């Protein structure tokens, strides 16, 4: 059986599944229950100067039966007393010495950051995570994402933390920036031990069309919040991969954002993460999801002949390429399985109105007498849209690559033609 244990910048954990700093890590009682259920680590809900939180705080984007595809919150850091949190942290570490326990922290001056770190160290915690990333409430006070968005300041505070800390220092990144790599450079320059990404994305999740108050509603209005949950996974994966493939970036990454299943976690690890953190999925389904996550990841590693997380880590990075490096000789064409097609016409409409008009109606009929669509292989661009909209999954994409070489974009440019690289028109006719 594969070994799921990890060493993340000197912090050991029985498995790579950690709870992210958020409501599931509000108290020692919750974290101990989570560890009993199987979670390998936890990052305590951000500690700092006491705040008062508002009612209400959360709002969700639902789709079909999935009640929380995306979650928006306007909550601040912990509203529990610092000494209570620290006392409970010590209790957790005593009962679970082999689990990873980190404290997310947020402070103002150098003296305040260093004092908070000293008090966290006294609990026996394994590490601190500098919260440079919450995108609402705290950033207006010059904290949270206001720091992540200013790499020079982030670097300086990281250095303060490292000066005074004897335990590993992680920096948690904000996705509310043009290029996540700026925070990566700052974390490296400040000598952080590791990074965690991503925190939530600044958002307004919706508006009540009767009283015109955005969600989540308070009596006198609402405010922008932080977005997370399954909907943000693609954004988080891209940010993780952008850093993971840079040779200059050598810090361990803890991946966060929309992780719901072991497959999600495996994707983050394949793109370079050494651990993963989960928030919304636990808020939605509870700590119990860990059993399936551990069994699933462990079974997958066994099936692939891998004996450790390290063997999976970064496996997909080499396949994340620049647009200009893509294989112009690869060609796929849609193929409809007439035996399973219901004749619903979703693919026809999508292709006709939203793509390349490459689907016609054939003379063939389903058992219920509906016409079956067929692919016009001359017009099909292999874009995938029909297979994505098909509710019965009866369209597959067939490899029909030609053996002759298709011109590369560089050759097209050389003969004065029109070509695109990295989404940019490199020349124009």
Catalytic positions: 134
Q: Tell me the closest approach of the beta carbon of residue 242 to ligand FMN, in angstroms.
A: 17
CB 272 within 8 A of CB 318: no
- How many C-beta atoms surround the C-beta of residue 261 within 10 A? 15
How far apart are alpha carbons 178 and 185 in whole angstroms?
Answer: 14
Instruction: Report the distance separating Cα 19 and Cα 17, nearest Å.
Output: 7
Q: How far is the CB of 139 from ligand FMN (least distance, A)?
A: 12
* Smallest gap from residue 7 Cβ to ligand FMN (A): 22
10 Å CB burial of residue 229 (0-12, 13-18, 19+) is: buried
The CA distance from 200 to 225, in Å, is: 8
Q: Show the tokens assigned to 294.
A: 């551990």
C-beta of 48: minimal distance to ligand FMN in Å?
9
Tokens coding 323: 């647009």
CB 278 → ligand FMN: shortest distance, Å? 5
Tell how far CA 47 is from the center of its chain: 23
Q: Which is nearer to ligand FMN, 54 or 412 (CB)?
A: 54
End-to-end CA distance of the chain: 59
CB 242 within 8 A of CB 277: no
Which residues are near ligand FMN by CB under 6 A?
Answer: 20-23, 45-46, 71, 73, 75, 77, 104, 131, 134, 172, 199-200, 228-229, 232, 256-259, 278-281
Closer CB to ligand FMN, residue 51 or residue 394? 51
Say how far residue 109 (Cα) sits from the centre of its chain: 30
Roughly what angle, to the nearest 10 degrees, separates helices 289-303 and 28-37?
40
């Amino acid at each position: 059986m594969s070994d799921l244990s990890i060493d993340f910048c000197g912090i050991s954990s029985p498995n790579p599944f950690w709870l992210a700093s958020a409501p599931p890590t509000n108290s020692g009682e919750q974290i101990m229950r989570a560890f009993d259920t199987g979670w390998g680590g936890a990052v305590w809900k951000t500690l700092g100067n006491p705040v008062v939180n508002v009612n209400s705080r959360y709002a969700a984007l639902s789709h079909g039966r999935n009640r929380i595809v995306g979650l928006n919150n306007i909550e601040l850091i912990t509203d529990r007393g610092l000494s209570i949190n620290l006392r409970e942290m010590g209790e957790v570490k005593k009962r679970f010495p082999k689990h990873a326990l980190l404290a997310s922290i947020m402070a103002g001056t150098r003296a305040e950051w260093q004092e908070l770190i000293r008090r966290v160290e006294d609990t026996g915690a394994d590490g601190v995570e500098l919260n440079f990333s919450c995108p609402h409430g705290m950033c207006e006070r010059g904290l949270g994402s206001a720091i992540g968005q200013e790499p020079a300041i982030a670097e300086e505070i990281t250095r303060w933390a490292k000066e005074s800390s004897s335990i590993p220092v992680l920096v948690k990144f904000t996705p509310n920036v043009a290029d996540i790599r700026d925070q990566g450079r700052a974390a490296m320059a400040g000598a952080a031990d590791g990074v965690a990404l991503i925190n939530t994305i600044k958002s307004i999740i919706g508006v009540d069309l009767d009283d015109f108050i955005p969600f989540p509603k308070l009596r006198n209005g609402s405010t922008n919040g932080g977005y997370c949950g399954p909907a943000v996974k693609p954004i988080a994966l891209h940010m993780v991969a952008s850093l993971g493939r840079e040779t200059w970036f050598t810090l361990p990454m803890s991946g966060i954002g929309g992780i719901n299943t072991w497959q999600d976690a495996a994707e983050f690890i394949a793109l370079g993460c050494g651990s993963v953190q989960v928030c919304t999925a636990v808020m939605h389904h509870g700590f119990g999801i860990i059993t399936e996550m551990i069994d699933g990841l462990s079974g997958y590693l066994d099936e692939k002949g891998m004996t450790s997380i390290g063997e999976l880590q970064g496996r997909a990075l080499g396949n994340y390429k620049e647009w200009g490096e893509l294989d112009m000789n690869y060609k796929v064409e849609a193929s409809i399985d007439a035996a399973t097609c219901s004749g619903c016409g979703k693919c026809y409409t999508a292709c006709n109105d939203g793509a390349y008009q490459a689907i016609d109606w054939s003379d063939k009929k389903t058992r219920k007498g509906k016409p079956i669509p067929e692919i016009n292989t001359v017009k099909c661009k292999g874009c995938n849209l029909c297979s994505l909209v098909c509710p019965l999954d009866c369209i597959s994409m067939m490899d029909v690559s030609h053996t002759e070489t298709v011109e590369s974009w560089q050759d097209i440019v050389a003969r004065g033609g029109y070509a695109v690289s990295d989404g940019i028109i490199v020349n124009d006719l």
